[in-house]
Structure 1
Amino acid sequence: MTKPKIYTMSFAKVYPLYIAKAERKGRTKAEVDTIICWLTGYSPEELQERVDQQTDIENFFAEAPELHPFRSLIKGVICGVRVEDIEEETMKNIRYLDKLIDELAKGKTMEKILRVSS
């Protein structure tokens, strides 16, 4: 079975799209970085290294220091698919990040996005 093309795409290609989406809605790059670091366990410096190194998306998630245990609390539909129904781990993590950025763009508080009260 062939891997989806998104797996081999550089994270550096989608990262500015996440930032642009957030900034269009009055949110910040710092908030995007906080979300990515929360989800993956990368420090801000490690995140920037991954962007600079053009790490592909599959390895970006596979090599993440510690995927957040509360990520399973992320529910809902993204790109017409229920996040909680996705079985393949890399795709699930991609969609978790997409969902978190959507929540940011929709004006949710960082506390809710990061599942702090859970």
Structure 2
Amino acid sequence: MTREEKKMIRFRIIKLLDQCEGCQYRQKVHSSINVCPSCPIGQEIQSLGKKLGGCRRIEQMESYRRWTTQEEQFLLRNLHMKRRDLAEKLGRSYKSIKKKINDLRKRGLIHDAS
């Protein structure tokens, strides 16, 4: 999507927000504005927001998967491996592996400088 297309979407959102100015479901908290997802204006705003990439956080939450005890044990037994190899073996991201190792270190399960 081009910058110009994104700009036009933002202008459309601003116009829609002006239309629902008096709506009882519209709430403004600090710099955030919440609109009713049930009304047509709110639905269009949400749709336009998704086009701008506003659902990235939701996608991240949907892709989140809890660590199992077996995965943690595998990680603890194989700290000698490269982080990228651990990520590949466990089907997780490199960043996820680093975060879990830091978490295990904070919990006192890792004592060395791995």
Q: Shorter-chain TM-score: which interval?
A: under 0.3
TM-score, length-normalised on structure 2?
0.22
TM-score, length-normalised on structure 1?
0.21
Using CA pairs below 8 Å that are at least 6 residues apart, which structure has the higher relative contact order?
1
